[in-house]
Structure formats: structure tokens, C-alpha cells
A and B are shown apart, each in its own frame.
Chain A
């Protein structure tokens, strides 16, 4: 596969390159617990994130986008593929060897209520990562850093001896961001990080993330189903469908000239403020197929309004066009 490097003019090697990542969950049954099938949560996906860039990973619920994020951090173990971070394949490292690399990639979760230990003070929660990576010489220095981090995420440093339940949802999400920042990561996986928040709070968090990116040169893998957020924040977009990336490209291109019928369907589902365009019927009908038993051929063909005979027979390869790529026969440059 040709390494198409988009959006990173200054580096030939992207910060993160994922090649052929596959995370299947076995389905066991019977007395002997034999594997009778696999949930193909993530099935052979490739993407890249350059330093300081935001890649949005979008798709319906259950398409495997969360599993991608967790596989990168090896919170779930991928079966195959390579996760090259700065040229080091994280998948081949042992758990012990992986630990020093853990500080480079951090994660912010969806549910701000479940992502902080209810019995740990904010100071200890944020300092936990510093302790394991030896950042800050002693407790006093770490406390100083915690104060600076709280200020950085626009929280009062005086609150550091409080417990998480004393904070609101948006404040907790700031705490989670501060905890991730504490170990000086270069990539943050935001797993639906704003989905559980009110719209006004969501905007604050998105602005905070954007400011942090500008100041610290962070890269984000922004996992979401909210296309409005994607348009606001992302440099590039990867669209996932049943464990595969079906289309990838710069945000502008994806939103203005989507080439995959699934992307077109997703975009048409955004409610429009233009009265003339209101009432467009959903172009994607039916339910997401089970990743345990994906359809033959193109995985989208049973729901695709433009499907033809070949789609049910063959799996479309990834066609590259300009800065984007699409997994649809309609994008085949040879077919015109």
C-alpha cells in the first residue's frame, strides 16, 4: 500500500501509522468453550495521524470506532496489524516494554462520571500518571504541576483536594483532560469525549481541546458520531462502517464532495437549517449488520441506495483519489 501522507507537509513519517489493525472478539460456546465465530469489531483498517493534527473517526454506534481507540492503547489486544507510533510498533512490545510508551498516547473517555475513581482526590488522580512515569521529583513538585494543569484546563487549583462527585460533568471532563495532559502525551484519543455533555459545555470543551492543540502541538484521534463536532475540529475524517474504514479524506472534501454512498447517507442525516432542504428522507435505511456476521461483498451493499450486482459478490478495494480514499466500486478511477 502506498503511504499517502496527507496534511503533514513537514514530516515524511506520521506520528501514528496504523496498518491492517484487526481486533476480533471470539464468540465461545459449548462445554469446551470453542470459538464458534468472531465479532469483527475492527477488521483490517489503515490510517495515519500526523503530529499536531486531528483525525476524526466517525460512524454509527457499534461500528467499532471505540475499539479502534482502545486497541491503539492496547486496552484491548489487537489480533493483527501494526500500530507504529514514531516508528515503534506498539503491538509487538511486551506489556512491560510498552509502559514507557504509554505516556505518549492518552485517552479521554465518553462518560465523565465513570472515568474518575470516586474514592480518589482530584490531586491524586491527576498525579497518578506522573508518579508512574517519574514526572516531578517529589510530592510537592507534583502538586505544583497539578495546580498548573488545573489552571490550564480552566479549573480552580484550590479544588484539587476535592472528590470527583463534587464536580459537574463538564468539569469532570476537564479533569480527565488534565489527567491525560499530566504525562505530556503527543496523541490524545478522545473517545466520544463530548457526547455526554450539554451543547454549551460541549462547545467549551471543544474550544479547550483546540487551544491545547495549538499551544502544545497535540494530535487528536477524535472518535465521535457527531458530525457537527467533526466539522468544527477535524483536519481529516475517516468514516467507519462495520469494522472497516469506508472513506477517508480532508474534512472539507468529505463534507463537500463525499464519494462513498455511506458517507453521503450520514451527511444527509444532519438536520438542515435551510428550509428548502428540509424533509429529505434518510438515504440509509435499515439497521447496521452484525459485525459477527458481516454481509458478503461490500459490507454496505444491503443498505446502499446505489448498489449493483457486483457489490454483493466482491469486496471493493480501497481506491485512492487525490488526498482521500474510498472503498466503493463507484470510486474506481478505471471505471470512470
Chain B
């Protein structure tokens, strides 16, 4: 038994994220630039933002879990398992024996009566689990992949890119050597190797994707820092006796923030999609949409084909990626200093 139960940790993470979001909102409201950008973003892409908000709230609700409160009667194992808010929206024994079509009254094979006839909106999978339930739970995995990996990639790339671009010389040589070396190894091979070494859990997969994913952003940060370092306002700050760390924190980093936001959004959809590829190779994360799509390989070969599992997972994935990309494009337009009307 680990020090903290996984579901308690998950609850803490949700609380921290909510706190962070509130703090970020409060800070952004103080800054004219960010609050103006935020208003414009909501005005331009209301539907995509709404969709993302829906995915995020489902993932959050699925991350808040506790033990007890009516499991399957008499089943001790089921009762001691923590269940999330999303789990609690479905009955504890909301299961069938095997496949059943959406809203069907009988099983797909054999035609036996269902225990919950007509109530599985998206049918059930091979183990008789409700597909709608699985799809909703997939949102948490998708956001975990995108979010946690970005949390690894962005700080790492910022640290390496800024030190290379700002200090130059030997540090630049070393960072660029690492970047070039990593970039020359085929990403998928490196990913597979890392997951073999680290293990299969969601956090391990995120770490592996983070280690392979920071290189591109690091290059962008290095180049941008190189440009910013020579700008007159950085030179003026140096003449004003501001320390190197002060210059990086007060002048370089704030002027890289728009890149961070843009990269986060673009990275995010790329990561969720690449998890689907990993799932296809059998090294994905349990409960992801990628895994549901992977399962459909066999299901599509059956006659008649079983389509609802694939359609549910793909639609959810598609909706998330599309919304994120829409928002990403809008964010890029809005945060580009040229279109915001600052600078020339």
C-alpha cells in the first residue's frame, strides 16, 4: 500500500488545479493584455471553448473519487473500490455479459435478455461495460496525457532553451548537442524503449512522451531568446544594473509567454493523437480512447460489425482535437503581438 491512496492523490491534484486556475484567472484579470486576449478568445470561438470546458469538467468529475456509498450489494471487492463522480452517475451494476447495440433490448450475440434493456445509449463493449461510461472516462486519460506531458515538456524546454539562447557559448553547445542527438533518434523507437524501461502506467507514458517531445519547443525558445537578448530593452535593463536572472524573469520570460500558450495548445492535440498510436502498438494507457479504437480492429472484422465502440471513442477524440485546434489557431492570432497592436 503506497503512502497516499491513488484516488486521494487524484483528489488533491484536482484541488490544486482548481486553485491554480482561479489564481491564473485572478492574475490574468489584472493584466489588460491577458484579459483583453481572453475576452477576444471567448468571442471568437465560443463553441470550441464550450466543448473543451465540457471535456475538462467531465475529466475533473472523473478525478474526484471516494470509497463507499452503495457499491454492488454484497460485493466486498466492489464496495472497497473508490468510485468517481462520473462512476456514480451510472448504477454500480450497470453491466451486461457482452456486446449489445445502442439502446438494444437483447444481447448482440445469442439474443439473451439484457439486465438493463434499452438504457445503454451507446451500447456495451466485449466485457459488457457501458460505452458511454467508458467514453466519458476516456476524457480524463486524454487530458492527463496532454496536460501532464505538457507540464514536463514546457518547463524543460524553457529551461534548456532560455539558458542556451541567453548565455550562448558552451551552454548553447551542450544543449544543442543534446537536442540534436535526441532529434536524430526515431521518436517512436525511443518512446517504446522508454516505456519498456519505465513501465506501463499513465505517468510513465507521459514522462516518456515528455522526454521525447521537448526538443522542438526548445529550439523555438532558443531562437526567440537569442532574438530577445539583443533587443534594446534588454540592453537597457543591463545598463540599469538588472541581474541576469532578473532580465530572464522580467523581460525574457514574459515575452515568451505567448509562445508557451501557443505551443501548449498545439502540443496538446499532438500528444493525445500520438497516444492513440501508442495504444495501437499495445503500449498505451488503460482506458484511453486510443485503446478503445485499438479494440475496434477486431470488432470491425466481425459480421455484422460492431461499430459503436469505435464511433464513440473516435468522435470524442475528434471533438476534443478539433476544438483544441480551433482554439489554438485563435490563440495564435490573438497573442501575436502584431495583431494585438503592440510593437510594429
A125 CA / B237 CA spacing, docked (Å): 9
Asked whether B337 is an interface residue with its Cβ less than 8 Å from the other chain, the reply is yes
Q: Which of A100, A117, A129 contacts B251 (CB 8 A)?
A: A117
Q: Are A114 and B232 in contact (CB under 8 A)?
A: yes
**A109-B232, A132-B246 given; A163·B32 CB < 8 A:** yes
**CB of B126, distance to nearest CB on chain A (Å):** 54
A27 on interface, CB distance cutoff 8 Å: no
Q: In the complex, which range does the number of interface residues on chain B fall in?
A: 20 to 34
> In whole angstroms, what is the CA distance A115 to B343 when docked?
10
Within 8 A of A (CB), among B319-335: none
Chain A residues 95-123 with CB under 8 Å of chain B are 99-100, 102-103, 105-107, 109-111, 113-120
Per-residue contact bits, chain A 149-189, to B (CB 8 Å; 1 contact, 0 not): 00000000000000111000000000010010001000000
A42 is an interface residue with CB less than 8 A from chain B: no
Q: With A120-B254, A183-B240 given, is the CB distance from A165 to B343 under 8 Å? A: yes
| Residue interface bits B16-40, CB-to-A below 8 A is 1, else 0 | 0000000000000000110000000
Measured between alpha carbons, how far is A280 from B344 in the docked complex, in Å? 39
Could you tell me the distance between the alpha carbons of A163 and B254 in the complex, rounded to whole angstroms?
Answer: 14
B241 engages A75 (CB within 8 Å): no
Whole-angstrom distance between the Cβ of A193 and the nearest chain B Cβ: 11
Nearest CB on A from B28, distance (A): 13
Query: For residue A107, which residue of chain B has the nearest CB?
Result: B239
Cβ contacts under 8 Å, B344 to chain A: 113
Q: A165-B341, A165-B342 are in contact. Are A114 and B241 (CB under 8 A)?
A: no
CB < 8 Å neighbour of B241 from A120, A129, A179:
A129
- A114-B243 contact given A75-B238, A119-B255, A163-B342, CB 8 Å threshold: no
Asked whether A114 lies within 8 Å of B239 as measured between CB atoms, the reply is no
A304 to chain B, nearest CB (A): 35
Residues of A within 8 A of B337 (CB): 118
Which of B233, B241, B342 contacts A99 (CB under 8 A)?
Answer: B241
Complex CA distance for A115 and B232, rounded to whole angstroms: 4
Separation of A109 and B234 alpha carbons in the complex (Å): 11
Q: How far is the CB of B230 from chain A (nearest CB, A)?
A: 10
User: Shortest distance in angstroms between A107's beta carbon and chain B's nearest beta carbon?
Assistant: 5
> With an 8 A cutoff between CB atoms, is B250 at the interface?
yes
The proximity string for A residues 124-138 relative to B, scoring 1 for CB distances below 8 Å and 0 otherwise, is 010011001100000
B167 to chain A minimum Cβ distance, whole angstroms, is 13
Q: Is B1 an interface residue (CB 8 A)?
A: no
A73 within 8 A of partner (CB): yes
User: A70 in the interface, Cβ–Cβ < 8 Å?
Assistant: yes
A105-B239 contact in complex given A116-B233, A119-B255, A120-B254, C-beta closer than 8 Å: yes
Interface string of B244-278 (1 = CB under 8 A from A): 00100011001101000000000000000000000
> How far is A118 from B255 in the complex, measured between Cα atoms in Å?
8
* Chain A residues within 8 Å of B255, by CB: 117-119
Chain A residues positioned under 8 Å from B238 (CB to CB)? 73, 75
Contact with A along B81-118 (1 / 0, CB 8 A): 00000000000000000000000000000000000000
Q: Taking the nearest CB of chain A, how far is it from the CB of B277, in angstroms?
A: 38
Q: How many whole Å from B229's CB to the nearest CB in chain A?
A: 11
CB-nearest residue of chain A relative to B342? A165
Option from B237, B239, B243, B343 in Cβ contact (under 8 Å) with A118 = B343
Cβ B240 vs Cβ A128 within 8 A: yes
Asked if B241 and A133 make an inter-chain contact with CB atoms under 8 angstroms apart, the answer reads yes
Within 8 A of A (CB), among B187-235: 231-233, 235
Q: Give complex CA distance A100, B257 in Å.
A: 31
Given the interface pairs A99-B241, A165-B343, the reply to whether A109 lies near B254 with Cβ below 8 Å is: no
CA distance A70 to B255 in the complex (A): 23
B250 pairs with A128, CB closer than 8 A: yes
Given the complex of chains A and B, what is the CA–CA distance between A105 and B235 in angstroms? Answer: 13
Pairwise interchain contact A102-B233, C-beta atoms closer than 8 A: no
CB-nearest residue of chain A relative to B252?
A: A117
Q: What is the CB-to-nearest-CB distance from B333 to chain A, in angstroms, rounded to a whole number? A: 17
Given contacts A107-B239, A128-B242, A129-B240, contact A117 B233 (CB under 8 A): yes
Could you say which residues of chain A place their CB within 8 Å of the CB of B251?
Answer: 117, 120
For residue A92, give the distance in angstroms from its CB to the closest CB of chain B.
18
Query: Chain B's nearest CB lies how many Å from the CB of A219?
Result: 16
Q: Is B242 a contact of A75 with CB atoms below 8 Å?
A: no
In the complex, the chain B residue whose C-beta lies closest to that of A112 is B232
Q: Does B4 touch A at the CB level, under 8 Å? A: no
- Which residues does chain A contribute within 8 Å of B341, judged by CB atoms? 165
* CB-based contact A102/B235 at 8 Å: no
**Residues A132 and B243 in contact, CB atoms below 8 Å apart:** yes
Given contacts A132-B246, A165-B343, A115 and B240 within 8 Å (CB-CB): no
The answer to whether B235 and A119 have CB atoms under 8 Å apart is no
Question: Shortest distance in angstroms between A138's beta carbon and chain B's nearest beta carbon?
Answer: 18
Q: What 5 A-B pairs come out closest when comparing CB atoms?
A: A129-B240, A165-B342, A115-B232, A132-B241, A109-B232
- Give 5 pairs: A residue, B residue, CB < 8 Å, sorted on A: A70-B235, A120-B250, A129-B242, A164-B342, A165-B341
Q: A102-B241, A165-B343 are in contact. List 11 more A-B contacts (CB 8 A).
A: A100-B241, A102-B239, A102-B240, A106-B239, A106-B240, A115-B233, A117-B254, A118-B255, A128-B240, A128-B242, A163-B32
